[in-house]
Every structure is written in structure tokens, then in C-alpha cells.
Structure 1
């Protein structure tokens, strides 16, 4: 892990889990697998605090443990999962878009707790949904259970491997941990156990009601009958990443061609989303007849028009759809690796254009297509004057977006008898820009924390005023009294709060936008390395 990734991981751990967890996690990222006694001595933290921090990291899947050959336990951080914390809001928003409020809260609870049993997640979500309902309505456990089943059927949630079926945690005393019970096959990873959930969500009781009511008179919860409640569930991040990749491909096809083409590609991806692994180079071959039958019911296009669209997509220079056979009216696949490579290249071209201008972007695209060119050839093909082309090539060369290769004609490497070829290495350029994106996100987090720290007193005052107003509204206070409380925050302070809120919202939006680029670049690098290996 690079220094930039270490800094970003440290900031994310501190922001979400606190200073002690961040200290332990950062130490493990920097040094690798370490036993408990070394973590305690090197971090300067008490044994109890280190144990609690390790429990938090283990609960959220950020740390794994293994037995050393000498008989003690070593802990090792999952560096990639630490960086995935940045994508938590996107996971939650995706669940809300696909499965509504219940899906959103299920994913949110699983992310907050790391892993949960089915009954605990359903009960917690039902209680939260009930509190947000009006007219005294309650959310049935069965409705939340149905949404959870949909998430499992589409592989967005899965059983926890390793410790999932025992519910045990490894010993932090250095002794041998209990042997975990592994999930046997992939099918069981997404199978809901036979459970019976009876009841509905409960609202929180106010403090006055709690003081006035005795323990015997308080209503009891409806029973929850669970046949198998020893299974823990977690978020399947790979499935979310597969969904993000599919949405990026659909959006690219829509921008390049039209809405009908994107709907056809969406149908093909939806048909193979469960049967195709997240790192597969192609989707499963689908015949034209199967695609036609699977199109949305309200989408009225004939079979002949569908065949024409599929032919256009497979013949288009954009290598998203490919023809794999002629049976059943023709079979087609989505070229996932080529699509990701095309999206990553588009991101690289866009970054070059924003940073160096349209003429540099023209030279960059030219080098991507022609692979190797001399300076004179670049000038001729790009139709740019020699001096400008030379300056632009040197600018991109100085930031490692362009490489220069020397091919000597003679062994003495004399400049007059040497070819100097410019080229673009997309993989190395993507890695370099990925590190810059990590640095950008870390700077955005630092800036947001700085803004919050500088206005800490004003934020605390605003929270106190809001709490007073909420309590007075609950007791039926008059409008004049509420207005008097609101005036405790002066006009300049209110303007300062508005500016702070606007700045923080911009920083949050920037983080999400940069993460989109990070996801494309990471996917391209991973697919390229998988192809090489």
C-alpha cells in the first residue's frame, strides 16, 4: 500500500471508528501481520483498548487473523476493504434505489454493525421504519423479511464466511481461536434459512412514559420465532461493484447511441447478473430470441428492430457488445473487460483535456490509437505546429502520461542515429491517476474536518437550539416562544451556518464524483492484471 493509500485509510478509519481503531488499523497496514503483544507495545495503547479495537476491525471485516507456526495469533489488515469505506454512501443509495426504504435501512444497518443475524437486522429495520411512520402505523416484520430475501436472492447480501455460522470471535489473548465453520458452497451463501418472524416494529417510548410506567405494565414485544439464528450476514461488496460497472456501461451506451440501445444492453446485463462472476471477461451468451422475450413489457419494439440494434451494437467501434454465434437468431455477449478499458481510456482522455487542453488531448488520443510515433509523425497526424507539439509532448512526459522509448540504429546510441518514439501506457497512466484521485479524496476529507473544527462552537450552539425547539414543540409550546428560541442564533451566525452547510455539501459531492473515477480506474487495473496473469 502506498503512502497516499495509507493516509486515506487512516482518515477513513478515524472518521468512522475513532482514534484508537485508526491507530491500531494504521499500524497493521504499515507493518503487516503482527501478534497482539507487538501491537500493544508499538502503538502505546493499553491491552484492553487494543482488544476492543481488534474486535471492531474483525466485526467489520477489516482485519483477519491466522495462526503462526509458533502457535500464536497474528492479525492482518485488509487494506482494500479499508478504502471501500469511502463507498458506503453509494452502497446505501443503490439499495434505496432498487429496494426502497427497507432495503436502504437493511444495508445501512449491516454496514454500521459489520455483520448481523437475520432476526436482529429485521427487528432493527422494522423499528426504525415504524418510528418514521405517521398515524400510529407499524411496519410488519414480514415485509422487511421479504426485502431482505430479495437482497439475498440478487446477492447484495451474503452469509459471512469463516466465523459466520458459529458467532464466535477469535481469542485476543494469543490462544488458539475456535475452528470456524465454513460455508460449503456458493448457493448456501445466498440462501435464507428457515425462519418465522412474527410481529411488527415498535416505537421508542418517551422518557416521561418510561418514568410513569412500571416494568410490569410496559407492553412486551411480539414474539420472534427463529429456527436458525446462528448465521451472520454481511454486505456483498463485489455484487455492488458489479452493479456500478453495469450502470456505467449502460450510461456509456446511452450517451454514444440512444435510449433503446441502452435498454437492450441493460436487459442483457440483468439476464446474466447472477450467472456471471464479477471478474468474468464476458457475460453468458444470450440469443436474440431470449433478449426479445426478456425486454421490459412496456418497451414496444419488434423482433426485426431488435436484431438491427444488436447488429449495430456488435459492429460499433465501441467494443461493448460482441457476437459469439449464430444460433437462435444470433448469440451476443457483453465484453466486460473491453467495456471497462474503454471507460477508463475515456476518463484518461478527459483528465488530459481538462488539465492540458484540447490539443494535448488530441495528441493523447492519437498516441493511444497509433501506439508509437515519432515527434514529426505526431506533428503531421495531429496537424499541430512543431514547437507547440514539442511543448505539449514534454508537458505530458513530465507528468508520466506519455513515455519516450529510444531505439538506436547503432550500438553507440548516437542521437542522430536513434529513433525516439512517444507512446502511452494506459495501465501505468491509470495507476498514476488513481494515486492522484486517492490524494484528492484525502485532501477533501481533511478540508471537511477543518471546516467542521473551525465552526465547532457554532455547530454545538445550533444543535442545542434545535433540541430545545424540538422538546418545546413536543410539549405544545406557542409560536412566539419558539420564535424567541430561534432568535438565539443571530443573523450573521445563521449566514455562517448556511455557508458551512453549502461548503460541506460541495465537499461531499466532490468525494462521490472522485470515487466514480476511482471505481473505473480500479476496475480497469484489476481486469488488466487478471488478463495478464
Structure 2
């Protein structure tokens, strides 16, 4: 069951796309937890036909899990992660267009609009205006999207809650243990259940491609050879693989961080390193990229790049490109600082003639930067100083913080209390005696990165909901709504300059500026959400 801010945001997302009735069903499931159809009918007070239609829509768009249990019968549960991913759908379409041209963007947009589709339906809907050339181009682009995992098959397993299956598998493994299980046996049972679930998911997603046999005739010898090739299975429904597109968003954030830390040339070298290993990047949970050679990195550099512009060279003669690439990779790896601090500030790691991008180290640094920006906005530079001091040093008491942080004790005490109320810092009690008397205890402050990220993530969800509500309220203003409805007319849309008055055009221009500002703000907040939620899985895995 989701918290209040997440539930409101998911309900608003569903309402803006599928209407108020489907949003009502979504809100009830998010508020009460997973429910069966009789409970949904009783809580929603809607007609059975309406509730069934809403359930079908949510299942079609991968927003609803359903499962069968002996105690409760068939129950439904909202897929919160898939619902929140809808905020990035526009960016997914843009990325597909950048990678595979206009046809790639159209295919991804069509699949996102319908939830899941079969290849013949995709080709048929997009080639209605060009029945000669379009089908071949769309089929080729669709093959690339499926082959490189931007589209993945929608199987029966994808409609069941993985959390429920994991609990059931873990229970089966624990029942195999005789006697009282130890902590090691419980951990091994959990790992075995997770490996079983992962194996099932990987096997289920192998149905997207099938082998076909082609006959090639040789004109001279008249002999035929049969060659096996892969093609997209026309009988499988495909959906968009959000994680594959999220990898591109992560890589862009890494490039931006390198550009801010060093310069554009270092960012270009890091971008080439990411592109060299991009085809093998399939999951956001990868700790680091696959190793690649320096020569492979140099091959992915743009032809017109001037790497020498970002370095201070001893001589006027420009060194070879490979020498410059090695120099930049050494800077990105913090080769001049072989200490834990240098390791924590690196972007890549070097091993012989191979280089790897350190995703986990960069993600932790980006996550910490988001928390520091929150502390700076709410508590000033003193709050950032405390966050950095505790994150670098570990647990400290109040006197040590005020002394090392060069702050007066009367200023540090209320600041720590305020930051503790927002979970930016946490308090650990260490008793001096067995009676745990509060007067005989050490009180140590520290930064719990996972707890702070979780609390700030809820605050960001609340901000996203407020942005969506503000946009909807602005759009429902009577004067603006009348002008927007007028612009929807076919005659007005073809000649707005002549059929709209000057006041109406000015009102529309003001609305476009407001909507643009709200969209930019939404993108910035969503970027922080991506860092804390999607890149914050490393901290969860460590626990």
C-alpha cells in the first residue's frame, strides 16, 4: 500500500490520461491495498460494468497486477513503479527518435499509447498513408527495437506481482530447512528465491524473437543453402522496456556531472566510454560497466572534437589522440589520488589497458548531491556543512560537530534538531550502562542515506502532484478554457491569426509561458526523483 503523497500522484497521473472513473478505482486500490472485485464494487459504488472496464484498461496499460489466491480469490494491485514511469513517456519517445529516427519514435509512441501491441498491428496502423515503403522500414526498425531490448514481450508473468511471487518462493525455500533456521540459512533462502524469480523473468522474455529459414539460390551452381536468421514473433504482444530507456537518462546525468566537475572535453571522453559499452548495458543495478579498451573509446569519439583544448599542455605540439584519451581517463579515474577519498570522487576505474565506468560510485555521489541541495535550500550553508561532515566522518556527537564544523553550540543544536525532523540527519543512542538511563547515554549524529532519500522522495512526489494540480487549475480557468476550446475547432486551428482576437492570442501566449515553466520545473523534480529512486537501489541492496 502506497503512502498518501505517492497515492495522490499516481491517481492524478491516471486521471489525466484515463479519466475520473479509472482514477477512482486506482485511488481505492492504492488507499486500501490489494482488493478483489466485490470489495472494489463496494468501496467505489460504481456499476460492475464500469469497474470491469477500468480494470481492463489498467491491465492493458501494465498498471495493474492481478493474482489468484486460495484465501482471497482474484485480487488486484497497482503497479506503482509503472504508473510513475508515465511521467517520462515523452522523453522515451524523444530518445527513440534520436536513436532510430522518426519511425522509431512513432513505434514507441504507438506502443505507449496502447500499452502493448503485436507487430502486425503496429505496422498496419503506422503504414496507412504509405503502403509501399513504410511496412519494410517499420519492420526493420521494429526488429532493431526488439533485438536491443527497447521493446520487450508482455508475458503472463509480467501481470503478476513479483513481490508476491518472491514471498511465496522464499516460503517454499524456508520450509525445506529442518529445525530452527539460522541467519545464514534465511539469507540463502532469500537469495535462492530471488535467483529463481530472476531466471523465470529472463526465460519469459526470450519469446520475442524466433528463428526463420531462408532459401538462397546460387545462380552458378543452382544449389540452395538454408540459413537461419532471427525475426520478430508476430504472435507476441510487446511493451516498452522502461529500464532500457532509463539507462540513457542515467548516462546523460553522468556526462553532465563530468562536465560540471571538469570540462566539456572530459565529458566527451566519458560519453565515448559509455557508448563503447552501451549495447551491453541492460540494467540500472549494474555496479559498473563492462571493461572496454582505450582504442575502443577513441573510436567512439566525434571526428571534430578537440581534446587538447581542455588540457594545459607543456609543449605547443598537440599529442596523439590516444595519449589525450589516456590523460582524460586518468583524470576521470582520480589516478593522482589513490586514496579512499579519490576513489569516491572517481568516474571510471582503470585496469591495465581496460576502463570501466563506476555506476555505483557515481550514483551515490549524485544522491548525496541532491540531499545537499535540499539542505542548502532549507538550512543554508551550515546545513550543507553538517551533511558533508557527517557523511565523510561518520557518527559524531554535538560537541564534535560544533568544534570541527566551526559553529557555536547554540547554533548547532537547533539546526541538528530541525534537520533531524526532516530526516536529513539521524540520531543513534549509545548507552553507558545496562539500565539505558537517558542521562547516561552518548547521542551520536549521522547521515542515514537511505532514510533521508526515502523521506525526500515523498516530498518530491508531493511537489509533482502540486505541479500537476496547478497545471490543471490554470487550464480550467473559465476564460482560458473557452479560448482553448475555440482553438480546437478545425477552422480556427488552420488560421489562428485571423480567427482569434488579439486578447485571445495574448491569453494563449501567457498560458503557453506558464505551461512551459511548469513543464521545466516538473522535469527538474523528476530528475531528482530518478536519482533518489532509480539510482538509489544500491543503498537498498547493501542493506
Same fold (TM over 0.5): yes
TM-score range (shorter-chain normalised) is 0.7 to 0.9
1:49, distance to aligned residue in structure 2 (A): 1.3
Counterpart of 2:349 in structure 1 is 322
Q: Does residue 304 of the first structure (1) align with residue 326 of the second (2)?
A: no
Shift of 1:61: 0.8
The 1:521–1:71 alpha-carbon spacing in structure 2 relative to 1, beyond 3 Å, is: closer
Distance change (3 Å), C-alpha of 1:228 and 1:297 = same
Q: Point out where structure 1 has 5 or more consecutive residues left out of the alignment.
A: 131-136, 165-181, 197-225, 474-481
| TM-score in terms of structure 1 length | 0.78
CA distance in 1, matches of 2:147, 2:45: 46
Is the counterpart of residue 467 in structure 1 residue 489 in structure 2?
yes
- Aligned 8 A contact 1:282 1:335 in 2: yes
Secondary structure of the 1:284 match is: coil
How much has 1:418 moved relative to structure 2? 4.1
* Residue 513 (str. 1) matches residue 524 (str. 2): yes
Distance 2:8 2:55 in 1: 20
**Structure 1 residue 401 corresponds to structure 2 residue 424:** yes
Note closer, same or farther for the CA distance 1:186–1:290 as it changes in structure 2 (3 Å cut): farther
1:220 aligns with none
CA contact (8 A) 1:29 1:77 kept: yes
Q: How big is each residue's C-alpha offset from its partner over 1:420-450, in whole Å with a ceiling of 9 and x where there is no partner?
A: 3222111111111100000001111111111
Matches for 1:427-438 after TM superposition, within 5 Å: 427-438=450-461
Aligned to 1:201: none
Residues of 1 paired with 2:391 and 2:535: CA distance?
A: 16
User: Is 1:287–2:293 an aligned residue pair?
Assistant: yes
Are the aligned partners of 2:209 and 2:232 in contact in 1 as well (CA < 8 Å)?
no
Q: Is the 8 A contact 2:208 2:236 kept in 1?
A: no
CA–CA distance in 1 between the matches of 2:49 and 2:526?
36
Question: Which residue does 1:144 correspond to in 2?
Answer: 138
2:513, 2:97 → 1: CA distance?
24
* 1:266–1:376 distance in 2 versus 1, CA, 3 Å: same
Measure how far apart 1:44 and its partner are: 1.4
| Distance change (3 Å), C-alpha of 1:8 and 1:471 | closer
1:394 offset after TM fit, Å? Answer: 2.9
- Equivalent residue of 1:234, what SS? strand
**Which of 266, 270, 273 is the equivalent residue of 1:268?**
273
Q: Deviations over 1:481-508 (max 9, x none)?
A: x876333xx62x4433333332222222
Superposition pairs of residues 358-437 of structure 1, within 5 angstroms: 358-411=381-434, 418-437=441-460
Q: Provide the C-alpha distance between the structure 2 equivalents of 1:312 and 1:411, rounded to a whole number of angstroms.
A: 51
Residue in 2 that maps onto 1:218: none
**Structure 2 partner of 1:214:** none
Q: Are the aligned partners of 1:340 and 1:523 in contact in 2 as well (CA < 8 Å)?
A: no
Q: Structure 2 vs 1, CA of residues 484 and 89 (structure 1 numbering), >3 Å: closer, same or farther?
A: closer
Checking the alignment, whether the CA contact within 8 Å between 1:431 and 1:525 is kept in structure 2 is no
Counterpart for residue 104 of structure 2: 103
* Residues 1:521 and 1:468: Cα distance change in structure 2 (over 3 Å): closer
Q: Is residue 2:542 matched to residue 1:531? A: yes
Deviation at 1:312, TM superposition (A): 2.3
* Number of residue-to-residue matches in the alignment: 463
- Which residue number in structure 2 is paired with residue 134 of structure 1? none
Instruction: Tell me what 1:64 maps to.
Output: 65
Q: CA deviation at 1:271?
A: 2.9
SS in 2 for 1:315: coil
Q: What residue in structure 2 maps to residue 173 of structure 1?
A: none
Cα distance in 2, alignment partners of residues 25 and 349 from structure 1:
35
For residues 436-451 of structure 1, what are the structure 2 equivalents within 5 Å?
436-451=459-474
Looking at structure 2, the residues matched to 404 and 233 of structure 1 have their Cα atoms a distance apart, in angstroms, of: 48
SS of 1:357's equivalent?
Answer: helix
CA distance in 2, matches of 1:78, 1:472: 41
Native 8 Å contact 1:465 1:485 kept in 2:
no
Q: Does 1:153 align with 2:159?
A: no
Kindly indicate whether the alpha-carbon contact (under 8 Å) linking 1:116 and 1:234 is maintained by their aligned counterparts in 2. Answer: yes
How far apart are residue 307 of structure 1 and its match? 2.2
With over 3 angstroms needed to count, the CA separation of the structure-2 counterparts of 1:185 and 1:264, relative to structure 1, is farther
Q: Is the 8 A contact 2:7 2:30 kept in 1?
A: yes
SS of 2:324 mapped into structure 1? helix
Output one character per residue of 1:153-203: Cα deviation in whole Å (capped at 9) or x when no partner.
Answer: 332112222289xxxxxxxxxxxxxxxxx998477456488699xxxxxxx
User: Structure 1 pair 391/191, CA: closer, same or farther in 2 (3 Å)?
Assistant: same
- Structure 2 unmatched ranges of 5 or more: 159-199, 215-230, 307-319, 336-341
Superposed CA RMSD: 3.2
Cα distance per residue 1:17-60 (max 9 Å; x no partner): 11221122222233333332332233212121122111111111
User: Whole-Å Cα distance in 2 between the matches of residues 85 and 483 of structure 1?
Assistant: 34
Contact 1:28/1:34 (8 A) holds in 2: yes
